Amino acid sequence: MEQQNTRTKILGFFDTLGELILCNLLWIVCSLPVFTIGASSAALFTCNRKILAKEAVRPGVFFTAFRRCLKPATGAWLLIAALFALIAANIYILPALEPRLRSVLIAFLGAIALLTLLWSAHMFPLIAANHSGLSFTKLTTMAFALGIRYLPLTLSAVFVQVLPAVLFIAFPNLFLYASAVYAVFGIALTSLYHGFIVERIWAKAHLSFTI
C-alpha cells in the first residue's frame, strides 16, 4: 500500500511537471508579440488554478482564457509598460539633477514602482478569474485594496515575480543558468507560486471565484 502511494505521488509529480512545461511553452509562444504578455499571464494563472485544484490542464484551457482576457489584460499590461517606461526615462536623467532633487525623485519613482507591482500582482489574477463581467475600474480598485491590505503576502508574490530581474542585476552569470530553467518551466512555476499566494489572500478576504 505504501509503495502504491509512493508510485502515485511520483506519477502525480511528473504529471504536474509536464503541465508546467506545457503552460510555460504556451506562455512564451503567446507572449512573442510582447503586447500580449498580459493576456498570456492571465491565461497562465487560469491554468495554474486548475493545477492547484488538481484538475487536468490542456492547451484549450489556456487558449480559451487567453481569448477571454485579451482586452482587459492587454490594457493592464500596456499601462504597466508605460509606467515603467516613464520610470526608466526619469532614471536616465537622475545624474543631471542636484542631490536633494535626485533623492526626492528616487523616492517618488520607488513608490510608483512598488504600487504598480502591488497592483499588478492582483490585477492579472482578478482578470483571469473575472467571469461575472466586473469592470476594469472595479478590478483595479480590488487589486489595489488587496495589495495594500495583504501587503506581506503580496510582497512575497512580487519578490518571486521580480527575481529574474534581481538575478540579472546582482548575479549576471547565475542569470544565464537560471534563464534556461525559466525557459523550460520556471515561468509557469513562478506563476504557480504566485497563484498559491493569491488563493490564500482570496480565502482570507472571503473572495470566491469559479475556475
Question: What would the pLDDT profile of 97-126 be if each residue is shown by its tens digit?
Answer: 888 888 999 999 999 999 999 999 999 999
20, 51 in Cβ contact below 8 A?
Answer: yes
18, 56 in Cβ contact below 8 A?
Answer: no
Q: Which residues of 2-38 are buried (b: 16+ CB within 10 A; e: fewer)?
A: eeeeeeeeeeeeeebeebbebbbbbbeebbeeeebbb
CA dist 79 and 74 (Å) reads 8
Q: Which of 2-16, 29-43, 44-58, 107-121 has the lowest mean pLDDT?
A: 2-16
User: For residue 131, what pLDDT band results from cuts at 50, 70 and 90?
Assistant: confident
Question: What would the pLDDT profile of 144-186 be if each residue is shown by its tens digit?
Answer: 999 999 999 999 999 988 887 777 777 777 777 778 888 999 9
- pTM beyond 0.85: the answer is yes
**Whether residue 1 has pLDDT greater than 60:** no
Report the pLDDT averaged over residues 39-43.
96
Using alpha carbons, select from 43, 72, 70, 74 the residue that is nearest to residue 59: 43
Residue 40 C-alpha cell reads as 498570456
For helices 187-204 and 37-52, angle between their N-to-C axes, nearest 10 degrees: 70
CA dist 75 and 127 (Å) reads 11
Using alpha carbons, select from 39, 41, 64, 17 the residue that is nearest to residue 157: 41
Report the pLDDT averaged over residues 17-25.
95
CA distances from 200 to 26, 115, 169 (A): 26, 20, 31
